[in-house]
Amino acid sequence: MFVDEAGRRWPRRPAHETGPFGRCPRCGEGHIFTGFLKIRDHCDVCGLDYSFADPADGPAVFVQLFACVPGVIFIVMLEIMARPGLWIHLAVGVPVLILTTILPLRPIKGWLVAAQFTNKAQEAGTAELWARLHGTKGEGPNA
């Protein structure tokens, strides 16, 4: 259970239930994003301050390691097995790469932001911010 600045109680929601859908990790109703990948300043429903959210290069790393590998394997196997012309590679390969690299970025970034909130992930020296966000005394990330 999370308690906000106004004393309202919010049920704990798993990161995989809110983040991939771009929903606020505290209330599950508000939105995390203003654009495709730009994070809002705060939740439009519960007012959660998203200043804690810093997924950095995490979404890109996950996409590179897990999402685009099948796409690249598909394109390489297409070349090995069929030896198609360049226009086939352009017509098939470009959409495959776009689908496997760009589309997963937003759900993965949302999941990482929600996981930071749910798991109270923090940098050293930010215990006061987390105490304010989670309504605790500020004794560290597991308070």
List, as one string, the DSSP characters of 71-90.
HHHHHHHHHHHH---HHHII
Tens digit of each residue's pLDDT (9 = 90 or more) over 92-104: 989 998 888 899 9
Provide the pLDDT for residue 136: 65
**Residue 18 forms part of a structural domain:** yes
Supply 17's token pair: 């239930």
Confidence of residue 105 (pLDDT cuts 50, 70, 90): very high
Give the count of domains, the chain. 1
Give the contacts of 28 (CB within 8 A, at least 6 positions apart). 13, 17, 18
97 closest CA partner among 62, 70, 65: 70
**Residue 143 forms part of a structural domain:** no
**Residue 12 forms part of a structural domain:** yes
Tens digit of each residue's pLDDT (9 = 90 or more) over 64-88: 888 788 888 999 999 999 999 999 9
Whole-prediction pTM: 0.79
Three-state SS at 53: coil
**Residue 141 forms part of a structural domain:** no
**Residue 49 forms part of a structural domain:** yes
**Residue 142 forms part of a structural domain:** no
Domain that holds residue 79: 2-134
